[in-house]
Structure formats: structure tokens, C-alpha cells
Amino acid sequence: LTNRVMGVVYGNKGAHASAVRCFESSLAMAREIGDREAIAKAEGNLAIIYDLEGRTEESEKASKNCLEYFLDVGDNIGAARTANNLGVLNLSRDNLQVAGEYFEKTIAASRACKDQDLLGTALVNAGYCYARTGDAARALSYSDEGMRIFRELCNQNMIALAYRNYGTIEARNARF
């Protein structure tokens, strides 16, 4: 637990190498004692740092392991958050179809669990994904719904991302 907590502290400070050492140490100890939950949490944390460092293959592998664990134990929110992260990872790699599939899974799970913050995040992410594919109708629908959620939650950062979606939709559909 201490290594994982220290990894979060280092990660928040941008000290990625130190964060990776802590999370890898936490992962090794969790594997040694067979603690699947601790393994999943360590892999989830490593996935974030790996992604920040541009180590996308390692990030994807760790995220998929984490997703598998959450699905196995029936943690629908954990699985949905991990699926959303995998969507963002694939979006950053221009794997738009795969990203969209992960966002759709997140949207369905967050609706079922009534997690408004996660739902709004997935909607805004999916809206951007669909804006980039040229599916303006779905991009607008998802962005509008995400915008309503984040106005209610007063989340200015996510509102700004929804506005980015509108700009992307407009740019893709403009007749120059």
C-alpha cells in the first residue's frame, strides 16, 4: 500500500521514473502474495504513467489486465473507468473505431450504475471521437448530453472539452 501511495504522490509531481519504481514494486509484492486487487490497482496506475511517457503498448497491456480483473470480480464502475481510459488511449493513437467501442461500453455501464461524472466524461470523449470520424449527429448528441451533465456538476474543464467537440464538428463540416 505504501509503495502505491508513494507512486501516486510521485506521479502527481511529474516524477514518472520514481512513480514507476513504486508501482512496479507494489505490483511485484502483490503478485508474490497473490493479491489480485492490488495487482489490478498497480497495473492501472502503471498504465497511466506509461501513457504519459508515451509507452502506449505497455499502457494498453496493463489497462487490459486491469479491465479483466474488474470484469472478473463484477466491479462495473472500475471496469467502466478502465474502458474509458482504454478509449482515450486508442483515441490518442487514432484507433477511432476501437476508441468508440470502449466509450460505448463505458457509456452503457455508467448509465446502468448511474455514475453521472463517468457518464459525462465518456459522452464528451465519445463525442470527440465521433467528431473526428465525421459522425456529426452522434458527436453532437453525445457532446450535448455531456455538456448538460457537466453544467449541472459545474465542471468547467469538461465543459471546455465539450466546446472543443463543437469546434471539431464545425471544422470537419465546414465548406471552405
Chunked into runs of 10 residues, the chain (176 residues) has average pLDDT values of 84 92 94 94 93 93 96 96 95 96 98 96 96 94 96 94 91 70
Report the pLDDT value the prediction gives residue 176, as an integer from 0 to 100.
40
CB neighbours of residue 5 within 10 Å? 11
| pTM value surpassing 0.85 | yes
Report the pLDDT value the prediction gives residue 175, as an integer from 0 to 100.
52
Q: Rounded CA gap, 165 and 121, in Å? A: 13
Residue 15: all three cell numbers together = 516524477
Q: Rounded CA gap, 26 and 4, in Å? A: 6
Report the pLDDT value the prediction gives residue 8, as an integer from 0 to 100.
87
Burial 46-59 (b: 16+ CB within 10 A, else e): bbbbbbeeebeebb
